[in-house]
A and B are shown apart, each in its own frame.
Chain A
Amino acid sequence: MSPQTALHDPVFRAYFLVVLVSLMVGGLVLGFLRFVLKKETAAMFRTYWSWILMAGIGLIVVFLGRVATIAGVTLLAIFAFKEFARASGLYRDWWTTGAVYAGIVTVGIASLIPHPRGAEPGTGWYGFFVAVPVFAIALILLIPILRNRARGELQRMSLAIVGFIYIGWMFGHLGFLANARNAYGFVCFIIFATAICDVAAFTFGSIFGRHPLRSEISPNKTWEGAVGSLVVAMILPWLLRFSFPFFGTWQLILTGLIVGIGGQLGDLSISVIKRDIGTKDMAATIPGHGGILDRIDSLIYAAPLFMHMAGYYYPLK
């Protein structure tokens, strides 16, 4: 991945168009709702403008190449964890928060550097990347020992481990995908597909939503939205088959399931955390979307599952 290859890569260029067309279709639909059906769409437009901004930033980062993608994912993870730490109160403890930040940066470094003994550059250090949680959790558990403290430490350690594994490491898989031979196809597909599925869940839920999906966790999500989103997720891998021409039927089905079910599980698991803490959004960073964490939550599940599925059938490199 580099700006030169991106310019000539058919997959990247196709995604550029796909994203552009999707945004235009979205804009037309919103315009139709606003001007023809005279619906109240101010909130939706705010969400839409943020989509445009995020799509632009995402395209630029992927265009800039492998290093930019990994660095971008790491930065996103840092700020997403910051939101989690602020919401859960963990941010008051510098030591534990610092350990998690260090862990997240390590995930980024492991995705960036090759295996020190004889691997070619640009491959990422897969063995270390998969093993980072061992070291990060060891560090987090070490902190109360170093500080000679026990009171309330279980809560801090637990929050830090959940935060690191979930936001730092699992989401970090998106960055590691940039090392794949088929990086453009994998990275662009997984980001685009989870985004479309989120929109689909919202749309189907608003139109047909009747039966609450998990009433105790997220009152606004419905079975109708979830099923609609899953249907879209099952179609998307076939529509965007050019992203991974070597995938067979079985892999395409798995991809659809991962995006459709995994994405929504990611969403719901963040909702569990928010519900227990008692906040509606993790932050108000992105107008119309809530926090960064509220935006990337479906990728947190979908990206690692997708990477390991793809890696099982076709070696990433």
Chain B
Amino acid sequence: MKKWRYDSARDLDQAPLDRLRQFPREPDMLVYGLRSLCALIIRGLLHVYNRFEIIGHENLRTNRSLVIVANHCSHLDTLCLLAALPLRKLHRAFPAAASDYFFRSVHRVWAAAVLVNALPFGRDAHVRKSLSLCQELLAKPGTILIIFPEGTRSTTGDVGEFKSGIGALVAGRDVAVVPCFVEGSFRAWPKGRHFPRPKKVRLIVGAPRNYRSRTADKIDIGAIASELRKAVSELRLTNGSH
């Protein structure tokens, strides 16, 4: 009789919390089921409570890998961007989340890893490692990376400087970069508040861009970052009137 080969999960010896902290994680169908269920509930709540609206939805309809770049002033931003994706793509969408904030306390780790499928991103240390992890993910077709290049939630509601890391990630790669603007999330759920308010939130999705012809030198990646910042800010001004 031939021996059976058991393809065990690689993290059997790790405590549950450490299992959630690592990346890539090895979830079973219970996690996928719970995430899909919560996503449905969150979508329903966004639509009812925040009268959520998406403009330019067609810009997200592709099966190729995507980098979604958006402004950031609220936890709602991530939820809105995820709500704009079809449910079947949810488990291939990874919002980059600060590992020093989201991957510390138990409930944040749980929410980040199970609910939003976050990618732990080292914003102070291991930036290079995190970026190469993102690039590995993008190499697989159908990956969706959600990145807030400001690196933190804005406390004024304005779009802050974009870190050049976003440029390094997309320069010279044949990957669609979709600028997005989340409007109203600052009023609905600013940094420091415990619960969101029932204010209207709107997601404006811009046209995809491509930076495959650019080089990854320092000047170019800085330029890409500011171009993307401009693209995101302009979405706010045009207000989806295109």
Binding site for B on A (CB under 8 A): 78, 82, 85-89, 91-92, 94, 97-98, 101, 155, 276-285, 287
Contacts and interface: CB of A to CB of B under 8 A. Distances in A.
Q: How large is the interface on B (under 10, 10 to 19, 20 to 34, 35 or more residues)?
A: 10 to 19
B43 to A, nearest CB: 23
Interface secondary structure of A, over-half rule: helix
B16 interface: yes
B12 A91 contact: no
Given A86-B12, A87-B12, A281-B12, A155 B4 contact: yes
Nearest to A277: B6
Nearest to A154: B4
Given A283-B12, A285-B15, A285-B16, A87 B28 contact: no
A89 to B, nearest CB: 3
A78, A89, A98 — which one has the most chain B CB atoms within 10 A of its CB?
A: A89
Given A82-B28, A86-B28, A91 B9 contact: yes
Contacts of B32: 94
Interface of B: 4-9, 12-16, 26, 28-30, 32
A282 B7 CA distance: 14
A279 B12 contact: yes
Given A88-B6, A91-B9, A284 B15 contact: yes
Given A98-B29, A284-B16, 10 more contacts: A82-B30, A86-B12, A87-B8, A97-B28, A101-B29, A276-B6, A284-B15, A285-B15, A285-B16, A287-B15
B92 to A, nearest CB: 15
Nearest to B16: A285
Contacts of A78: 30
Given A97-B28, A97-B29, A88 B14 contact: no
A107 B9 CA distance: 27
